[in-house]
Amino acid sequence: MNRIALFLLFVCSQAYSAVHTITELNLKIDIPSGWSVKTTPYTLDAVDPSGAHHIEINLDFVPNPNTFSEKDKLKELEKFCLAYAGTNIGIVDSGRVTFMGLPALFAGYRYTAPDGKLHCAVTYVFDNKAGKAQITIDSTRESLVMAGYAIEDIVKTLAPAAGPAGYHPKTQDMYFYTANLKVTFPYDWKPALTGNTISGETKSGVKWALEIFPESVFEMKSQFEITALLKKHATARYGKLLQFFGESAIGGKGMTVAALHFSLADSKKIWMYYLVDTGLGTFLFSTQAEGTGFTMSSKDIESFMKSFKKLTDW
C-alpha cells in the first residue's frame, strides 16, 4: 500500500471516534472508528486498520522497589523498551516529562521488526492509582511520515475517566509527544494544520510554515552536512537562482538547531529556514516576506524560536 493510500485510509478512520475506558486505571482515550480495540479493566490494545500504528496502555512496567534514583529508573525503562522491541533497538532519548499534567518517565526509540520494517516508538510511564501505568505508541516509520500529527491527536485525548478533566494545554501551545517537543505560537498567528504542515501569517504579513517530519532527518550530521541539506531542500523547492546570505548550525546532545537565510535573485522577498531536530523528529520552520515585514515580525519570530522546548526539559 503506497503512502497516499495509507494516509487516506488513516484520515478516513479519523472521521468518527469512540471513547474507551480502562476502568481500573481510571483512564479514557478516544480511538478512531475502524481501529481494532481490545480492553480489559487494566489494559487497552489498539491497532489501526493498516496495522501500521499500535497503542498500548497497561501496567507491564514494574520498577524494582529498591530503585530510588531517577537515573536508575530510566535505565529500567530503557530495559523494558528493549524487551518490548527486541535486540535491534536504539534508545534515542529518555528523561522526565510532564504527561497529562503528571510527572512521568519517557523513552523514545527506534527498532527493526522481524519483517524488516523500521519502527519509531515512544513509551510514557506515570503514577496511577493501580500502579505505574504506561502507554506505548508504536508506528512504522513510513506510515508515521504521513499520519504523525493524527497520532498526536489521539494521544492528547488520554485523560482521567473520573475526577479532574485532565491535561489541556493552552490553545496556542502545541505538544508533539512522539517527537518530545513543545512549541508556543504567538497569539495572533492563528495556526492552521494541513497534512504535515502548520501554517499561517503574522499581523505584518509574513507567511510562515512549520513542517513536521516524524523522524530524525539531521541526527548525527556535521554542521556542514546540515546546512548543505538545507540548501538542497531550498534549491529543490525554489529553484537554482538563490542567493544565500546567512547560515548556522549547532549540533550535539539534545536538539540540533540550524538557520538558513536566502532570496531569489529577481525578487525582493526573503526566506528564512529554521530547523530543529530533537533526535525523534525534525521540524522545519520557514518564513517568507519582504524586508519590512520581517522587521515588524522579528520579535514574534524570535520568541517563537525560543519556545521550542524538549518535553524532557524541566
Sheet holding 242-250, edge to edge: 192-194, 197-201, 207-213, 282-290, 269-277, 256-264, 242-250
| CA angle 26–29–35, rounded 5-degree value | 135
Q: What is the CA radius of gyration of the chain?
A: 21
Which has more pLDDT, 293 or 231?
Answer: 231
Q: Residues 80-127: pLDDT tens digits?
A: 888 888 767 777 788 888 787 778 888 888 888 888 888 888 899 988
d(CA 107, CA 123): 5
Output the pLDDT for position 20: 92
Q: DSSP state, 47?
A: E
| pLDDT of 254 above 60 | yes
d(CA 144, CA 55): 13
d(CA 191, CA 198): 6
SS3 content of the chain, % helix, strand, coil (to 5): 25, 40, 30
pTM of the model: 0.63
Which domains does the chain carry?
3-168 (3.40.1000.10), 175-310 (3.40.1000.10)
Helix (H) or strand (E) holding 49: none
Which has more pLDDT, 105 or 251?
Answer: 105
Output the pLDDT for position 247: 65
Find all residues with CB under 8 Å of 238, minimum gap 6, and list them. Answer: 262, 264, 271
Q: pLDDT averaged over the chain?
A: 78
d(CA 144, CA 118): 11
| pLDDT of 46 above 90 | yes
Q: Residues 268-289: pLDDT tens digits?
A: 778 888 888 887 888 889 888 7
d(CA 107, CA 79): 10
Find all residues with CB under 8 Å of 155, minimum gap 6, and list them. Answer: 55, 135, 137, 177, 178
Distances in Å between the Cα of 67 and the Cα atoms of 50, 59, 63, 112, 144 are 39, 17, 7, 30, 35
